[in-house]
């Protein structure tokens, strides 16, 4: 069931390769929204249903969402990272996926793409995680990147998170509270 998969409970047989087009589009980082206080209601909502205070959740997400890449566009095999409006672009091809098992027993799938060309500053590897484990258009995602494939896979505390650029802060907050 989709809800179990979203929470990280699934069988290996359910996992399928995904094309980069699943993440095509223009995406905004949610980190600035957190910093501006636009997600405070989400942190409050989490506190009402979780084991931390709103301030503790905000501190956790401050680390999780932290990034200087405020926008990403994905068009064909081209992925463009924007830092303060400055674009860096790489061209990427699928490099399979990896299944990670987390401390609490649930799992996640990282879809890995390796750079084939583009700007030297673009990372050698990008890894998507979006709670989806078979071809389907992403509605948001966590993106990990770096030049060492294995090292990037080990990153579990910082997961820059992107939502469609056309969504407002309040629309993103509403979507987050729905999960």
- pLDDT for res 3: 86
| Residue in 85, 50, 48, 72 with CA at minimum distance from that of residue 140 | 72
Q: Say which residue the tokens 């931390």 belong to.
A: 52
- pLDDT for res 124: 98
pTM of the predicted protein model: 0.95
CATH of residue 144: 2.40.128.20
pLDDT tens for 10-41 read: 999 999 999 999 999 999 999 999 999 999 99
Longest dimension (CA), the chain: 47
Domain that holds residue 130: 2-178
pLDDT tens for 80-124 read: 999 999 999 999 999 999 999 998 899 999 999 999 999 999 999
Domain count for the chain = 1
Please give the angle made by the CA atoms of 76, 29 and 75, to the nearest 5 degrees: 5
| Whether 146 contacts 124, CB under 8 Å | yes
CA–CA gap between residue 2 and residue 140 (Å, rounded): 16
């Amino acid at each position: 069931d989709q809800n179990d998969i979203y929470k990280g409970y699934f069988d290996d047989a359910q996992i399928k390769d995904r094309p980069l087009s699943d993440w095509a589009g223009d995406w905004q980082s949610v980190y600035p929204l957190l910093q501006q206080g636009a997600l405070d209601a989400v942190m409050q909502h989490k506190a009402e249903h979780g084991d931390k205070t709103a301030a503790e959740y905000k501190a956790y997400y401050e680390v999780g969402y932290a990034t200087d890449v405020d926008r990403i566009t994905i068009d064909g095999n081209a992925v463009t990272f924007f830092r303060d409006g400055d674009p860096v672009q790489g061209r990427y091809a699928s490099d399979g996926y990896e299944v990670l098992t987390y401390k609490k027993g649930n799992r996640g799938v990282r879809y890995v793409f390796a750079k084939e060309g583009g700007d030297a500053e673009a990372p050698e590897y990008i890894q998507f995680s979006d709670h989806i484990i078979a071809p389907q258009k992403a509605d948001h995602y966590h993106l990990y990147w770096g030049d060492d494939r294995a090292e990037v896979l080990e990153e579990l505390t910082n997961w820059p998170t992107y939502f469609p650029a056309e969504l407002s802060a309040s629309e993103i907050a509403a979507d987050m509270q729905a999960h």
